């Protein structure tokens, strides 16, 4: 409904969006802000607990809902208050190798589940680059998860026998699945491909591939000699990894093509031992998965949802299981315009195409200039338990020098040998920044860095993501 509202606004129907659609969306957002922290059933309607998919979807809805409210000249205060806490809770699903699909449960499963692929694809926003907090497709966490989950299916399906690492295989929901004897699904195998096509799009846009210790096992399946580092598009390592990932993504699609039903029919599942179609026939989701994977391969990506909202990637220094009691209203009874046509009289695509409509050749470099850039700040600072490192400066996104509005960095990768605090914040391309880091003690007192201020100009160009490494001064 938010996507529909954006279309209405873009095509001259803002009053319809505000008066008829927004009140319904507002009820949904209020419900999410009130009940997000209660357990419920997962995407497969099987597990009652805390679901990665549900939490990620809730976070996106609150951020995008807040953005829509501003567009319509109103606000969603509960969205703004709760979205950072939802994202904070989402980090708890990560176990250093993969995202555990369901927590706060005791069902005997490993938690390796392809609903995380679907969540990653549904939460894809090209402007966020390879942000790990939101599990963007090219983030080191999402790539590590991809490897771990795909590998969990390699040995359990007969039709995967003899297929080596770095080659696509048939993928199901989760390895412990017993529904219809637990088979691969067309839509999940295609989701594995789609995540990689999404990653390729961002790498091409930003002109580099970053290999971290977290994502290294994924990349080593594609090139055994690769090591951690940042590889720009003019290097041979970039070309090798890009082309290998492209081929890897295609191999998942080829797996589906190999076991498709008669006349191209796609059921829900295909037999784990002989590949014959099984379960629900002509499953709509299977066909939709083909279309979305094909679109991503062609460089057609979804419209973003984060915009310049810092809550999209902001992880608070402290997480709280808080909520906002919602106020609910009856849906309006007005009439929609009889004929809703695009403002230019032609169909409006729901996705943003690249400059060329044809399938992109691997290692091509054309791109559109980025209007906003996600800056990944990294600050080396030894701290004590209970202390929090924050950043503030001459821009509203980092608090306008107000320490009470400073943005907290995450210590998720902090170690005694590498005391790094980090956060990703989105700014307009070309923006001149002045900033400093502060340490907030447990009693609320603040310690500032020494002078001078850090000075940084957000780069202009094709990349939607960059890194700024600092050390406490």
pLDDT at residue number 373: 86
Catalytic residue status for 42: yes
Q: Contacts from 215-222 at CB under 8 Å and sequence distance 24+?
A: 215/140, 215/143, 215/144, 217/144, 217/147, 218/143, 218/144, 218/146, 218/147, 219/143, 221/147, 221/165, 221/166, 222/166, 222/248
* Residue listed under structure tokens 């402290």: 318
- Mean pLDDT for all residues in the chain: 91
pLDDT at residue number 119: 98
pLDDT at residue number 346: 41
CA 468 to chain centre: 21
Q: Is the separation of the CB atoms in 391 and 377 below 8 Å?
A: yes
Q: With 70 as the cut, is the pLDDT of residue 311 above it?
A: yes
Model confidence pLDDT, tens digit, residues 39-66: 999 999 999 999 999 999 999 999 999 9
Catalytic residue status for 45: yes
Which is the catalytic residue, given 19, 45, 151, 271? 45
Q: How confident is the model at residue 449 (pLDDT cuts 50, 70, 90)?
A: very high
Rounded distance between C-alpha atoms, residue 103 and residue 235, angstroms: 41
Average pLDDT in the 1-12 region?
A: 94
Model confidence pLDDT, tens digit, residues 139-191: 999 999 999 999 999 999 999 999 999 999 999 999 999 999 999 999 999 99
Rounded distance between C-alpha atoms, residue 196 and residue 124, angstroms: 12
Q: How confident is the model at residue 35 (pLDDT cuts 50, 70, 90)?
A: very high
pLDDT at residue number 145: 99
Which is the catalytic residue, given 42, 80, 271, 470? 42
Q: How many other β-carbons are positioned within 10 Å of the β-carbon of residue 134?
A: 26
> What are the structural domains of the chain?
1-109+310-337 (no CATH), 127-196+211-304+350-368 (1.50.10.10), 372-471 (2.60.40.10)
CA 425 to chain centre: 15
Q: How many other β-carbons are positioned within 10 Å of the β-carbon of residue 455?
A: 11
């Amino acid at each position: 409904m938010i996507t529909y509202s954006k279309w209405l606004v873009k095509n001259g129907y803002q009053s319809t969006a505000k008066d008829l659609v927004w009140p319904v969306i507002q009820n949904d957002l209020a419900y999410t802000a009130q009940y997000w922290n209660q357990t419920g059933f997962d995407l497969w309607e099987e597990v009652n607990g805390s679901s990665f998919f549900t939490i990620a979807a809730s976070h996106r809805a609150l951020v995008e809902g807040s953005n829509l409210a501003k567009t319509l000249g109103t606000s969603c205060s509960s969205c703004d208050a709760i979205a950072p806490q939802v994202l904070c809770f989402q980090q708890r699903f990560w176990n250093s190798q993969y995202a555990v699909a369901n927590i706060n449960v005791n069902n005997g499963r490993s938690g390796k589940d392809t609903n995380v692929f679907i969540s990653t694809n549904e939460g894809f926003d090209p402007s966020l680059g390879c942000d790990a907090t939101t599990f963007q497709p090219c983030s080191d966490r999402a790539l590590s998860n991809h490897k771990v989950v795909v590998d969990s299916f390699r040995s359990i399906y007969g039709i995967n026998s003899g297929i080596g690492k770095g080659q696509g295989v048939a993928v199901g929901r989760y390895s412990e699945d017993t529904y219809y004897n637990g088979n691969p699904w067309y839509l999940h195998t295609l989701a594995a491909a789609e995540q990689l096509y999404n990653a390729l799009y961002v790498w091409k846009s930003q002109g580099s591939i970053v290999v971290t210790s977290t994502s290294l096992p994924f990349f080593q399946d594609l090139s055994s000699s690769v090591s951690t580092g940042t590889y720009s598009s003019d290097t041979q390592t970039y070309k090798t990894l890009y082309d290998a990932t492209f081929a890897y993504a295609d191999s998942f699609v080829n797996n589906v093509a190999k076991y498709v039903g008669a006349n191209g029919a796609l059921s829900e599942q295909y037999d784990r031992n002989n590949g014959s179609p099984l379960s629900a026939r002509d499953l709509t989701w299977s066909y939709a998965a083909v279309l979305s994977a094909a679109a991503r391969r062609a460089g057609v990506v979804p419209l973003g949802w984060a915009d310049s909202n810092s809550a999209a990637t902001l992880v608070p220094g402290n997480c709280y299981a808080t909520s906002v009691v919602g106020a609910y209203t009856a849906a309006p009874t007005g009439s929609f315009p009889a004929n809703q046509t695009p403002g230019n009289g032609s169909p409006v695509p729901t996705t943003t195409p690249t400059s060329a409509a044809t399938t992109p050749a691997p290692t091509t470099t054309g791109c559109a200039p980025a209007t906003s850039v996600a800056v990944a700040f990294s600050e080396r600072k030894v701290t004590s338990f209970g202390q929090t490192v924050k950043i503030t400066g001459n821009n509203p996104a980092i608090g306008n020098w107000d320490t009470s509005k400073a943005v907290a960095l995450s210590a998720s990768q902090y170690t005694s040998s590498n005391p790094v605090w980090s956060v990703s914040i989105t700014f307009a391309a070309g923006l001149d920044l002045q900033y400093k880091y502060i340490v907030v003690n447990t009693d609320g007192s603040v310690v500032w860095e020494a002078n001078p201020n850090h000075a940084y100009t957000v780069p202009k160009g094709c990349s939607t993501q960059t890194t700024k490494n600092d050390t406490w001064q």
